Amino acid sequence: MADFKDRVRKILSKKETPPLCFLHSFGCQQNVSDGEKILGLLCEIGYGVTNDISSADLIIYNTCAVRENAELKIYGLVGNLKHLKEQNPDVIIGICGCMAQQEHVVEKIKKTYKQVDLIFGTFALNELPRLLYEVLTERKTAVDITEHNSDISEEIKAVRSSGFKAGVPIMYGCNNFCSYCIVPYVRGRERSRTPEAILKEVKELTDSGCKEIMLLGQNVNSYGKTLEDPVSFSELLRMINDIDGDFKIRFMSPHPKDATNELIDTIIDCDKICKHMHLPLQSGSNRILEAMNRRYTAEKYMEIVNYARSRVHDFSFSTDIIVGFPNETEEDFRETLKIMREVKYDNIFSFIYSKRTGTKAALIEDKTTDEEKGRRMRELLELQREISSEFFKRFEGRTLDVLFESETKNKGVFTGKSDEFIIVEAKADSSVIGRRKKVKITKAFNWALQGEIIN
């Protein structure tokens, strides 16, 4: 990579004005983290960063493939770039990430979207200097979607989108092969970073003033299994918790089949770990869970929840739920609603099933109508509003730690998230952004809390 970085740097240095790159990442936090590394690499070889796409010399969309709507959005955006290419033939347009890792997508882009110069998948970030060199010198479309053995270089310094929050990947890939999910096919098998590399990155971030570290992986519970000297996720959490500094730790996402009492104990016992777990349910029906290849039952899921609540009676949970998995019956759907009532999630991320080419679920003939799926989604969302309206009231009168992130549309009202991952709003000034404050909660809504900063 070093040789091609030097070659590209020399080409770019001859331009009259420093070239600018525009990058937008779609999808999960892992994708956002990859995008920050891409920007870091581009800055290293001579690009500046711009948020104005019309002024960019290099445009990259870092894509998501989890749902069909995400892919359709990318096709629309890339189609809109045709006029930019006509106005400036020298602009380089690139597509990378999960969507670009799929061969049928690459063929469609090459055939339909001639304005695209650069296509690379999730394994090829280290190959970006070489690919750019090919585009700059040969003016042809450069493509790399091969599954390289290496992961993102530890030497690449990310360009962070925030100075007080940061995502830190601890592993890449997934071995679970849920029947509806494309991720193992576009991200590859599980590979863990060494604890030394992770601890070094976290220490650098916290020393520079970062207040919140989000540990990232498709299944963080599986962390460490591929290391020469295996380290469990709970052990890694305790190592990070021991780092000196004023910061909090979050993580995304554990898999219920691997969630243990040890993990719950670690979360509750360690002072820097936020008392919240995002624990994807997907369905409350054992029949559907088996068809999804989730490898746990509703009863096993509730054992995890009940153990956490036995230690902290209102421990905070959020979740993912898929509505309308192929041939989901009304009875199956009712089982999901039953779990929702029992757990009382603080927040849910719910989606209507999206068929993904290449997955086993895509081969299932689905007899459930779109109308029925839509009705179920509306009912599920209404139930969650009722649950949140009631369960959020437990915070009224309590004082929560809140990391403030931005100003709302209401001038003078700022928003952030509590340790429980609940949105909290309070009157303040811009000095609170990036700072953790004690907030006494005065009112609960079904989507957020309102309070007063007390220090």
Could you report the per-residue pLDDT of 389-424, keeping only the tens digit for each?
999 999 999 999 999 999 999 999 999 999 999 999
Q: How far is Cα 117 from Cα 131, in angstroms, rounded to an integer?
A: 10
Could you report the per-residue pLDDT of 108-121, keeping only the tens digit for each?
999 999 999 999 99
Q: How far is Cα 420 from Cα 110, in angstroms, rounded to an integer?
A: 45
Give the tokens for residue 446: 């079904």
Could you report the per-residue pLDDT of 156-183, keeping only the tens digit for each?
889 998 999 999 999 999 999 999 999 9
Could you report the per-residue pLDDT of 357-386, keeping only the tens digit for each?
999 999 999 999 999 999 999 999 999 999
Residue in 292, 220, 293, 284 with CA at minimum distance from that of residue 253? 220
Helix (H, G, I), strand (E, B) or coil at 234: helix
Residue 320 has pLDDT above 70, yes or no: yes
Half-sphere exposure of 433 (CA within 13 A, CB side): 11
Give the tokens for residue 1: 């990579």
Give the tokens for residue 65: 């493939």
Query: Residue 40: which H helix or E strand, with range?
Result: helix 29-44
Peptide bond into 55 cis (omega under 30): no
Could you report the per-residue pLDDT of 236-283, keeping only the tens digit for each?
999 999 999 999 999 998 999 999 999 999 999 999 999 999 999 999
Q: How far is Cα 446 from Cα 408, in angstroms, rounded to an integer?
A: 17
Residue in 100, 77, 85 with CA at minimum distance from that of residue 31? 100
Confidence of residue 155 (pLDDT cuts 50, 70, 90): confident
Residue 2 has pLDDT above 90, yes or no: no
Q: Which domains does the chain have, with CATH numbers?
A: 2-144 (3.40.50.12160), 162-268 (3.30.750.210), 275-393 (3.30.750.200), 396-453 (2.40.50.140)
Number of residues in the chain: 455
Peptide bond into 222 cis (omega under 30): no
Could you report the per-residue pLDDT of 65-114, keeping only the tens digit for each?
998 888 999 999 999 999 999 999 999 999 999 999 999 999 999 999 99
What's the chain's Rg over C-alpha atoms? 23
Mean pLDDT of 218-233: 94
Mean pLDDT of 12-23: 94
Confidence of residue 150 (pLDDT cuts 50, 70, 90): low
Q: For the chain, what is the mean pLDDT?
A: 95
pLDDT of residue 81: 96
Residue 225's Cβ-count burial label (10 Å; 0-12, 13-18, 19+) is: middle
pLDDT of residue 154: 84
Mean pLDDT of 200-220: 96
Confidence of residue 151 (pLDDT cuts 50, 70, 90): low
Q: How far is Cα 339 from Cα 455, in angstroms, rounded to an integer?
A: 38
State percent of the chain over pLDDT 70: 99
Contact yes or no for 361/355 (Cβ under 8 A): yes
